[in-house]
């Protein structure tokens, strides 16, 4: 199968694939649960690998033979019904290896233990997998003028829905004079969620992050552009793996430095999935995530006089009482309502089957 010529030309010299024999897949997160799911494929002579980078339908996959370039099989491509069935960074995939070529063919994706999903851009109602098979979610937000509680709520909803354990990381502590106030704002909306304060410039808080990175453990990082995700990964890795760009001085916003999702393997153990900065995203599923993130509002709703209370003008509304007495912020309630509306809207579209033609189905990646 011929690889896309543009992709081959874009692989930098320092990214050339080196075949390393007898890799221990456990260091990449392989465990007994995945082994059990793989038994049937193993009996048929297939191998397994983990996706580290996706380049427009061409994948870089870690296998027992080292890192190889892989493409999806024609059968898998034809039988797919949506993007959610294709491999994502962090996925364990069933492959047939061609080690003498440093290449492989992907035949399937093993069931995911966790995943980030969002609706694809545009009008189509289709799932896009951002990352898969992680243990912890680091929600990174800078302590400069870009700090936004409502945005963190949205990331929290996504994190709880994913199946990973969320941890809030507040970066650039050296640029903030009122850290305690901002932490208190998050304590009110993220009860029980660990909050780590870091400064890459000062080396502060990195050991606290490292405790989530053990042998074979995977951490996924979410956050807007310019919050310091790439700098954090470089510091944890002990070398400059990812490019870093300065924030704009006029508005404290950053430029996109990560242009694609990738899995970074750390020398001292642990793996990190980096994602491009996402200021806004359209969630794919969120009912459970909303319940977790807005547990205080859900609990108040149970105390309303009427079971079908809309929390507007009804007498005995515990939610409105909480807003009036100041124990619940109006902005938090509005954030809750906004997410609820988005989820209902998307669910209605799913039921109606609003979806465009699947562009990848039946097409060769070399004929675009």
The answer to whether residues 140 and 254 belong to one domain is yes
CATH of the domain at 28: 2.40.50.140
User: 307-364, pLDDT tens digit by residue?
Assistant: 888 898 888 999 999 999 999 989 899 988 888 888 777 677 656 665 444 444 444 4
CATH of the domain at 336: 1.10.40.50
Q: Does residue 219 belong to any structural domain of this protein?
A: yes
Taking the C-alpha atoms of residue 40 and residue 308, their distance in angstroms, rounded to an integer, is: 49
The answer to whether residues 38 and 92 belong to one domain is yes
Q: What is the pTM of this model?
A: 0.78
Report how far apart, in Å, the C-alpha atoms of 80 and of each of 73, 224, 301 are: 11, 31, 41
User: 219-260, pLDDT tens digit by residue?
Assistant: 999 888 778 888 888 888 887 776 654 444 444 444 444 456
What's the burial of 143, exposed, middle or buried (CB within 10 Å: 0-12/13-18/19+)?
buried
The answer to whether residues 87 and 172 belong to one domain is no
The answer to whether residues 142 and 236 belong to one domain is yes
The answer to whether residues 51 and 94 belong to one domain is yes
Domain hosting 229: range is: 129-274
Which candidate, 197, 136, 124, 132, places its Cα nearest to that of 164?
Answer: 136
Taking the C-alpha atoms of residue 37 and residue 40, their distance in angstroms, rounded to an integer, is: 7
The answer to whether residues 93 and 180 belong to one domain is no
For the annotated binding site for Zn(2+), the residues are: 304, 309, 311, 317
Q: Does residue 247 belong to any structural domain of this protein?
A: yes
Question: How far is CA 216 from its chain centroid?
Answer: 18
Task: Provide the number of structural domains found in the chain.
Answer: 3
Q: Does residue 366 belong to any structural domain of this protein?
A: no
For the annotated binding site for GTP, the residues are: 171-174, 223-231
Dihedral angle, C-alpha 300, 306, 310, 312, nearest 10 °? -80
Q: Does residue 358 belong to any structural domain of this protein?
A: no
The answer to whether residues 177 and 256 belong to one domain is yes
Q: Does residue 354 belong to any structural domain of this protein?
A: no
The answer to whether residues 262 and 332 belong to one domain is no
At 246 the pLDDT is 47
**Segments of the chain with pLDDT less than 70:** 1-23, 118-126, 242-260, 277-287, 346, 349-368
Taking the C-alpha atoms of residue 332 and residue 152, their distance in angstroms, rounded to an integer, is: 11
The answer to whether residues 95 and 166 belong to one domain is no
At 220 the pLDDT is 94
The answer to whether residues 209 and 316 belong to one domain is no
Q: Does residue 355 belong to any structural domain of this protein?
A: no
For the annotated binding site, the residues are: 171-174, 223-231, 304, 309, 311, 317
Q: Does residue 289 belong to any structural domain of this protein?
A: no
Q: Does residue 282 belong to any structural domain of this protein?
A: no
The answer to whether residues 248 and 305 belong to one domain is no
The answer to whether residues 208 and 152 belong to one domain is yes
CATH of the domain at 139: 3.40.50.300
Report how far apart, in Å, the C-alpha atoms of 82 and of each of 87, 325, 356 are: 11, 48, 10
């Amino acid at each position: 199968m011929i690889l896309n010529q543009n992709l081959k030309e874009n692989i930098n010299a320092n990214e050339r694939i080196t075949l390393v024999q007898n890799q221990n897949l456990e260091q990449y997160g392989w465990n007994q649960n995945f082994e059990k799911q793989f038994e049937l494929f193993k009996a048929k002579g297939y191998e397994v690998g983990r996706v580290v980078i996706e380049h427009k339908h061409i994948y870089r996959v870690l296998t027992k033979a080292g890192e190889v370039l892989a493409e999806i099989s024609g059968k898998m491509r034809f039988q797919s019904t949506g993007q959610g069935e294709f491999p994502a960074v962090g996925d364990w995939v069933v492959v047939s290896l061609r080690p003498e070529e440093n290449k492989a063919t992907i035949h399937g994706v093993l069931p995911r233990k966790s995943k980030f999903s969002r609706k694809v851009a545009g009008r189509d109602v289709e799932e896009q997998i951002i990352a898969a098979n992680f243990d912890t979610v680091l929600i990174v937000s800078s302590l400069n003028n870009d700090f936004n509680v409502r945005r963190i709520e949205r990331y929290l909803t996504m994190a709880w829905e994913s199946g990973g354990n969320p941890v809030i990381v507040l970066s650039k502590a050296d640029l903030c004079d009122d850290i305690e106030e901002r932490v208190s704002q998050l304590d009110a909306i993220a009860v029980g969620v660990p909050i780590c304060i870091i400064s890459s410039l000062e080396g502060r808080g990195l050991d606290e992050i490292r405790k989530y990175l053990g042998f074979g453990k995977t951490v996924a990082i979410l956050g807007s552009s310019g919050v310091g995700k790439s700098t954090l990964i470089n510091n944890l890795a002990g070398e400059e793996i990812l490019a870093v760009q300065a924030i704009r001085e006029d508005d404290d916003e950053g430029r996109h430095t990560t242009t694609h999702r990738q899995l970074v393997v750390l020398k001292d153990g642990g793996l990190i999935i980096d994602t491009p900065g996402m200021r806004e995203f359209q969630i794919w599923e969120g009912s459970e995530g909303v319940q977790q993130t807005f547990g205080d509002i859900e609990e108040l709703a149970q105390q309303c006089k009427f079971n079908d209370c809309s929390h507007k003008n009804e007498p005995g509304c515990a939610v409105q009482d909480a807003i009036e007495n100041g124990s619940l912020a109006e902005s938090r309630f509005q954030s809750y309502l906004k997410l609820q509306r988005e989820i209902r809207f998307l669910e209605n579209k799913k039921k109606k089957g609003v979806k465009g033609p699947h562009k990848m189905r039946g097409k060769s990646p070399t004929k675009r």
